[in-house]
Every structure is written in C-alpha cells, then in structure tokens.
A and B are shown apart, each in its own frame.
Chain A
Amino acid sequence: MAELFRMSAAEIAEAVRDGEVSAIEVTDAHLARIEQVEPQVRAFLHVAADQAREAARAVDQRRAAGGELGPLAGVPLALKDVFTTRDMPTTCGSRILGDWLPPYDATITRRLREAGVVILGKTNMDEFAMGSSTENSAFGPSHNPWDLGRVPGGSSGGSSAAVAAYEAPLGIGTDTGGSISQPGSVCGVVGVKPTYGGNSRYGVVAFASSLDTPGPLARTVLDAALLHEVMSGHDPCDATSIDAPVPPVVAAARQADVSGMTIGVVPEFTGEGFQPGVLARFGEAVELLESLGAKLTEVSCPHFSYALPAYYLIAPSECSSNLARFDAMRYGIRVGDDGTRSAEEVMALTRAEGFGAEVKRRIMLGTYALSSGYYDAYYGKAQQVRTLITRDFEAAFDRVDVLISPTTPTTAFPLGERVDDPMAMYLADLCTIPSDLAGNAALSVPCGLSPEDGLPVGLQIMVPVLADDRMYRVGAAVEAALDARRGYPLLNDAKGLA
C-alpha cells in the first residue's frame, strides 16, 4: 500500500471498508504529514487532532460492530474556517470573532460528521472569504505547495493548499466569485462550485448571500464527486436551498466520457491579459477534447466582460449588509467599552480594529452602491447586468452542452505582488465570476503546467443550473487522458515541498 497520506479519498474509503487499514491509522498518518509540512504551507488555522482521532475511532468501532460505512467513512478532510463547528473555533480569517466557539454546527459540518468523514481542522482563508490569495487573512497567508513564495489562491486557499500538500485528500471551500475554482486551479487540484442552492448555507458565515456556494476540493475528479454527493442536498434550514435530487455526479465522474458532447469555447476569455502559457495549455485541452470525440465550437458571451464590474457592486453591497451583524454586542471582540462611550461608538471602534483593509474597502463600497442617490446607477445597473449574463449562458447552453475557458488568466502570482492593488487582485476571478452571478455550476480541473513558470493551469468547465454531473464527465475525461499521457499524477511535479 502507498504511503497513507498519498492515497485518494476513494482508495482510503475502500481500504477502511475492507479492513485493510483502520481509520485511526489513516488519520494519524495525515496528522503526521500536517506536522511535517505545516510550518511551510500554513494551510490550517486550527488543527483538531483530538476531535479527528475521536471521529476516526468512531468509524473503526462502527465497522467492528458490523455497521454500514458510507462512501467517505474514515476519510480525512480540511474544512474552511467559515463553516461553524461546535468543537473547534471559527474565525473566518478575521480578528473580529475573537475566540468564538460557535454554539451550533453548520448543516454541512453535521453531514460530514454523520458520514464518518474525519475533520482534521479548519483552514485559512481571506477574511470573510474576500480575496483571491489568502493574504487578506488576519493570521497571515498560506503558501502554494508548488512554490512557497506564491499564493495558493483564495479565498479557499487554505483548503486548496492542504489538498495539494497531501495534508488531506479532501477539502471544502466556499465560492462567491471564484473562491473554490481559482485556488483549485493555481494549486493544481480539482475545485468545484456546484449549482447555487445545491449546498446548504446554514452555518456558513455569510459574505454575499445570493452568491455564496459551498463546494469540494480534491486531488481527483472522482474524489470531488464523492464529496459533492455527501455534502449536497436540500436543507430546510436554508430557504435558498433547492429541493431537488443531487445530480448523479459520482456516476458521471466514473463515466469520464465526452464522445458526442458539444463543447463551447468562450472567446471573451482567451485574449488579452491572459498569460501565454495558460492559453497554450488551454489550447491543448481543446484539441484533447476534440480527440476524445467531443464537438468543439466557439460561443461568444458578449456580456461576460461586464461580470467583474457587476460582481464588485453586488458582492460588496450584500457584504455591507451581512457584516452589519458584527456589532460587538453578542459575540466576538468588543473594543473601547469604558463606560463612557455609546454603543454606536463601541461598534465603530470594534469594527475598525476587528476588520482588515479589504473587508473595510468592500463594506464601504457596498454602502456607497446602496446609498440613496447612487442605488439606481450602481447596484440597480449591476443587477441588470446579472440578467444579461444569465441570458448569455441560456443562449449558449441552447447550442452547447458545456462551456470551457481557462479558470484563471494567470498562474499563481507571487505573495505580496497584488496586496495593495485591489483591481489587480480582482482580475484573478475574471473567468469564474459569470457562473457565480448566474448560479450555474463550474469545475476546474488541472490541464498541465505553464511553460514560463512550471505552475499549474486550470481548465474551467461551466454547465447549466443543476447539470452538475456534466462537468464531472468532462473533467474526469480530461484528467484520465492527461494522466495517461504523462504516466503519473500532475501533483508529482510539485517541488515546493521537496
């Protein structure tokens, strides 16, 4: 058997079920790996070794007692620190929550526990999921396992780095403007933004409620699909949760076949501003899909270039409203309550000290866009653009089964490069934002290394609402063909930790 921490989630689950290895051995192997590489990667904000071992022992006991084990029982997972956990702190990468211990579990946290998934700890993120690099975390950035001097993407960069560094076979992130696909892409792993409403937001600390979507990160498309099925499904506690069956994503990942499919290339996402090596690998992926029996065609989506400006009005507007709850009264830190100051003054002092620069920028931007006199010109117009983008998708999906583009315009950028240039940072999400605004699903699968810098490039596969299974079919086909051509998994080339 391979080193335990290098096994896929599917392999671990099977080995635990068959009794070839115990869940506690698997968990201990991952905790040892975390201890070994965490000083360099810094993917976790909190490692919950005791709780993880307890969860693993429960799986082993259930098996010993002859109980049924689910498809991911005994598999370790890295959970983004935006999901509430009763037995682990939840910070959202912010100082404002202090040492908050949530009084309840998120629905997804609960589903993981019930499935016997072993939560190893909580991963780093841009503060309140606002960012593309983890550099907006109040606790410092995580590092890309391909090159420790580069960002792991964001905001779910702790989870993507943990998966790429073999600290966990599975990670969970949340996507609002690309916060799963983009870190997945730059870390050379699979990142999935499911259809909006397919995954419960109950217990996910809110950033932009009409966009926030939890989803899986994994080293293989099949592993992502297995996690997708465990975490998804209707939740009465979330009024935006869709009451429909979860699309058959595991079967689609096993099918891994694109013959007869029609695939559209979005020309708006292959031109200026894209790194040449990213475009080269993307072009090869197009040829590969053709050779696998898909029919490729170009499909223009003329309003996609307005997605980024629309997003940077809609998301900050919703954030300015959602983050009003951090008022220093019921949880988190309180600053300046000396008996003379009013509640409003204490609130303003606490928020000024507790929030970082990007969160302040976005709260103020949202306050501006929603304020009287500007609402129609900014927020109202952005909502109309959202309609235009949805119509672009609908017209495209009348002609093709899926759309593809590079996931990000560039590979992982150096730490520090964009920290104080918000507009440059925002461009990292150029290609991922349309799917967030329209609510449809998208998956990023690695499609090789950019020749300029040897860093991973992601292929983004976008599919209609509730057709999540289609992107797994395409992603698994690309993954299988590229692995076969290379002869080994792409992550073997990651030298940052060598």
Chain B
Amino acid sequence: MPIARDDVAHLARLSRLALAEDELDHLAPQLDEIIAAVARVQEVAAEGIPPTSHAVPLVNVFRDDTEVPCLDAETVLSQAPAVEQQRFRVPRILVED
C-alpha cells in the first residue's frame, strides 16, 4: 500500500518530529520506497512460524539485591538543559485552551 504525504506528516507528529514542509516532501517518497521493499517479509512469513523478538532466550534475569551507591543529584542535574530547585525544569505539560 503506498504511503502518502499526509501519512508521513502524521508519522512525524507521532514521532515528535516538527519537520519542515520540504523535509516532508523529501522523506515521503523515500519512506514509500523503503516500505515497499521491506514488505517482502510478507512473502515467506507464513502462519504458525513463531516470532523471534530476541536472539538469546533469557527470561527472568535477576541480579543480587546488593546496595550500591547511586549518582548524586548534583551530578545528574549537571547535564540538564534547565534546572530549578534541584529538579529538571521542563516547559509546561498542560495546554490551557
């Protein structure tokens, strides 16, 4: 199924990418070509073949419950784009209207 420019704009919103118009124009045909090519997986993946999500089948991996020192707040916050009162300062998360 071909992927239209509107679909690409929707994907950009879902992906939290504020793409410019020319970027959308450029990306849309490329994504369409890639998706057409990767759809080949549908030729061989028949019913009944179990999916593999991971190469090494490890389950319920635990480590010893030993206390180790963690990073202090100052170290963690030292890399933040904005800090206030020993916390990450973020833009508003609720929209008013």
The answer on a CB contact under 8 Å between A388 and B18 is no
8 A Cβ contacts from B40-91 to A: 40-46, 49-56, 58, 61, 63-64, 71, 75-76, 78-82, 88, 90-91
The answer on a CB contact under 8 Å between A384 and B81 is no
Please report the C-alpha to C-alpha distance between residue A344 and residue B42 in the assembled complex, in whole angstroms. Answer: 35
Minimum distance in angstroms from B18 CB to a CB of chain A: 4
The answer on a CB contact under 8 Å between A346 and B54 is no
The answer on a CB contact under 8 Å between A329 and B90 is yes
Please report the C-alpha to C-alpha distance between residue A465 and residue B75 in the assembled complex, in whole angstroms. Answer: 39
Interface residue? A351 (CB, 8 A): yes
Interface residue? A312 (CB, 8 A): yes
Residues of chain B lying within 8 A (CB to CB) of residue A357: 23, 26-27
The answer on a CB contact under 8 Å between A196 and B11 is no
Residues of chain B lying within 8 A (CB to CB) of residue A337: 81-82, 91
Please report the C-alpha to C-alpha distance between residue A148 and residue B34 in the assembled complex, in whole angstroms. Answer: 30
Please report the C-alpha to C-alpha distance between residue A347 and residue B70 in the assembled complex, in whole angstroms. Answer: 28
Given contacts A100-B79, A196-B55, A388-B49, contact A360 B18 (CB under 8 A): no
Interface size class of A (residues with CB under 8 A): 35 or more
Residues of chain B lying within 8 A (CB to CB) of residue A312: 34, 37-38
The answer on a CB contact under 8 Å between A210 and B44 is no
Hey, what's the 0/1 contact readout for A358-373 against B, CB within 8 Å counting as 1? 0011011101100100
The answer on a CB contact under 8 Å between B16 and A351 is yes
Residues of chain B lying within 8 A (CB to CB) of residue A348: 13, 16-18
Minimum distance in angstroms from A23 CB to a CB of chain B: 30
Q: Which of B20, B82, B93 contacts A342 (CB 8 A)?
A: B93
Instruction: Name the residue among A197, A343, A380, A385 with the largest chain B CB count within 10 angstroms.
Output: A385
Minimum distance in angstroms from A382 CB to a CB of chain B: 5
Closest to A352 in B: B18
Residues of chain A lying within 8 A (CB to CB) of residue B34: 312, 361, 365, 422-423
The answer on a CB contact under 8 Å between A386 and B51 is yes
Minimum distance in angstroms from A482 CB to a CB of chain B: 32
Interface residue? A187 (CB, 8 A): no
Interface residue? A236 (CB, 8 A): yes
Interface residue? A328 (CB, 8 A): yes
Closest to B53 in A: A383
Interface residue? A397 (CB, 8 A): no
Please report the C-alpha to C-alpha distance between residue A385 and residue B51 in the assembled complex, in whole angstroms. Answer: 8
The answer on a CB contact under 8 Å between A363 and B15 is yes
Interface residue? B4 (CB, 8 A): no
Please report the C-alpha to C-alpha distance between residue A357 and residue B34 in the assembled complex, in whole angstroms. Answer: 14
The answer on a CB contact under 8 Å between B19 and A103 is no
Number of interface residues of B (CB under 8 A): 58
Minimum distance in angstroms from A236 CB to a CB of chain B: 4
Residues of chain B lying within 8 A (CB to CB) of residue A333: 81
The answer on a CB contact under 8 Å between A378 and B44 is no
Hey, what's the 0/1 contact readout for A317-360 against B, CB within 8 Å counting as 1? 00010001001111111100101011111111101100101001
Residues of chain A lying within 8 A (CB to CB) of residue B63: 236-237
The answer on a CB contact under 8 Å between A388 and B44 is yes
Q: Which of B15, B30, B93 contacts A367 (CB 8 A)?
A: B15
The answer on a CB contact under 8 Å between B80 and A331 is yes
Hey, what's the 0/1 contact readout for A382-400 against B, CB within 8 Å counting as 1? 1111111010000000000
Please report the C-alpha to C-alpha distance between residue A438 and residue B55 in the assembled complex, in whole angstroms. Answer: 5
Please report the C-alpha to C-alpha distance between residue A343 and residue B92 in the assembled complex, in whole angstroms. Answer: 6
Minimum distance in angstroms from A240 CB to a CB of chain B: 6
The answer on a CB contact under 8 Å between B91 and A342 is yes
The answer on a CB contact under 8 Å between A343 and B18 is no
Q: Which of B8, B46, B53, B90 contacts A210 (CB 8 A)?
A: B53
Please report the C-alpha to C-alpha distance between residue A385 and residue B50 in the assembled complex, in whole angstroms. Answer: 9
Please report the C-alpha to C-alpha distance between residue A347 and residue B75 in the assembled complex, in whole angstroms. Answer: 23
The answer on a CB contact under 8 Å between B55 and A439 is yes
8 A Cβ contacts from A277-334 to B: 303, 306, 309-310, 312-313, 320, 324, 327-334
Residues of chain A lying within 8 A (CB to CB) of residue B94: 342
Q: Which of A104, A237, A351, A384 contacts B49 (CB 8 A)?
A: A384
The answer on a CB contact under 8 Å between A239 and B61 is yes
Hey, what's the 0/1 contact readout for A423-448 against B, CB within 8 Å counting as 1? 10000000000000111100000000
The answer on a CB contact under 8 Å between B41 and A240 is no
Minimum distance in angstroms from A379 CB to a CB of chain B: 9
Task: Please name 5 further chain A to chain B contacts, defined as beta carbons within 8 Å, in addition to the given A342-B94, A387-B52, sorted by A numbering.
Answer: A306-B44, A348-B17, A383-B53, A385-B44, A386-B52
Q: Which 9 A-B pairs have the closest CB atoms?
A: A439-B55, A383-B51, A384-B45, A334-B81, A348-B18, A236-B63, A386-B52, A381-B45, A309-B38
Can you name 15 A-B pairs with beta carbons within 8 Å?
Answer: A197-B55, A237-B63, A240-B54, A306-B41, A309-B41, A313-B38, A328-B81, A330-B80, A331-B80, A337-B82, A341-B91, A343-B92, A357-B27, A360-B23, A363-B15
**B residues within 8 Å of A by Cβ?**
3, 7-8, 11-20, 23, 26-27, 30-31, 33-35, 37-46, 49-56, 58, 61, 63-64, 71, 75-76, 78-82, 88, 90-95
